[in-house]
């Protein structure tokens, strides 16, 4: 398995410095949050896309994918009762799929909790159906681009919609596209799922529906900075022969972003060495 760093952790650095830091610390790649690229990242010029990819490759680093997709531009929603808003959102999703592929990425992670809020007066079922329609609308685009679009289950404190792997998997199975999958975010899973995360991994990875992993502690800090023990999680992934990407995605950076990134990769590489020897 490969370890990627979510780039908003070090977003105070310019992109070249982000890549140099991540590569120097021993990460395999960067997973980009589009909002770090500007207010309209889906409209990024072709020359800018090529330059970002070149900068990463010069550091022997891959841009592994995109996450936190709909922060910018403002006003996006996959659950709005306004059809025009949903159509605009689907257009942005399609353009981000193109962006991911052109950057050399293979995975898009659709979390974006505020952009899937349930409108006042709407039922959860209605919001769920609208979200499913939006995911179905972009599945073909992901297939054509050769990328995987992942529905991210999030904790109830973040959103009232799609909180478990099972809920996300139900949309994946309904759509039936090999390019639409789901994933496990360890912070969210620790709050939303009834079973421990290693058991969640053992149950869902064999289904083929899981395509990505986010590593973070329930306290919103990086792995190794809270109570969640990641050795058992990495062991479960190893037993299931997971060969995908594990991206480090804390939300609180202690004492700061670069130091958090450095501490985390050391912790995870040490655990992986133990797991691989065991």
Q: What is the pLDDT of residues 15-53, one digit of tens each?
A: 999 999 999 999 999 999 999 999 999 999 999 999 999
Specify which residues 5 forms β-bridges with: 30, 248
Number of H helices, E strands in the chain: 9, 8
Instruction: Give Cα 218 to chain centroid, integer Å.
Output: 16
Q: Give the structural domain span for 94.
A: 2-277
| Lookup result for tokens 């992993």 | 213
Can you give the pLDDT at residue 224? 96
Candidates 31, 158, 193, 249; catalytic one:
249
Q: Which helix (H) or strand (E) holds 31?
A: strand 29-32
Domain count along the chain? 1
CATH number for the domain harbouring residue 14:
3.20.20.150
Candidates 8, 31, 152, 193; catalytic one:
152
Query: 278 pLDDT band (50/70/90 cuts)?
Result: low
Average pLDDT over residues 106-115: 98
Residue-wise pLDDT for 187-204, tens only, equals 999 999 999 999 999 999
**Is 40 marked active-site?**
no
**Is 254 marked active-site?**
no
């Amino acid at each position: 398995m490969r370890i990627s760093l979510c780039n908003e952790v070090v977003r105070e650095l310019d992109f070249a410095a982000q890549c140099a830091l991540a590569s120097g610390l021993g990460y395999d790649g960067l997973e980009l949050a589009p909002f770090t690229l500007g207010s309209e990242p889906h409209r990024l010029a072709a020359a800018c896309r090529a330059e970002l990819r070149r900068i990463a490759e010069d550091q022997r680093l891959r841009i592994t994918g995109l996450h936190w997709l709909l922060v910018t531009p403002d006003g996006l929603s996959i659950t709005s009762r306004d059809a025009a808003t949903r159509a605009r959102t689907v257009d942005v999703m399609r353009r981000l799929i193109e962006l991911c592929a052109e950057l050399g990425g293979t995975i898009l992670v659709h979390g974006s909790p505020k952009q899937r809020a349930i409108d006042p007066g709407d039922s959860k079922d209605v919001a769920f159906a609208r979200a499913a329609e939006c995911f179905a609308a972009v599945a073909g685009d992901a297939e054509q681009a050769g990328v995987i679009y992942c529905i991210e289950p999030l904790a109830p404190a973040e959103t009232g919609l799609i909180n478990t792997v099972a809920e996300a998997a139900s949309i994946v199975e309904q759509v039936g596209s090999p390019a639409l999958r789901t994933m496990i975010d360890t912070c969210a899973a620790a709050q939303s799922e009834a079973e421990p995360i290693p058991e969640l991994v053992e149950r869902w990875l064999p289904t083929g529906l899981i395509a990505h992993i986010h590593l973070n502690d329930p306290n919103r800090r990086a792995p190794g900075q809270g109570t969640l023990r990641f050795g058992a999680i990495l062991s479960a992934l190893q037993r299931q022969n997971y060969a995908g990407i594990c991206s480090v995605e804390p939300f609180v950076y202690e004492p700061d972003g670069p130091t958090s990134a450095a501490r985390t990769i050391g912790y995870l590489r040490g655990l992986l060495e133990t797991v691989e020897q065991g």
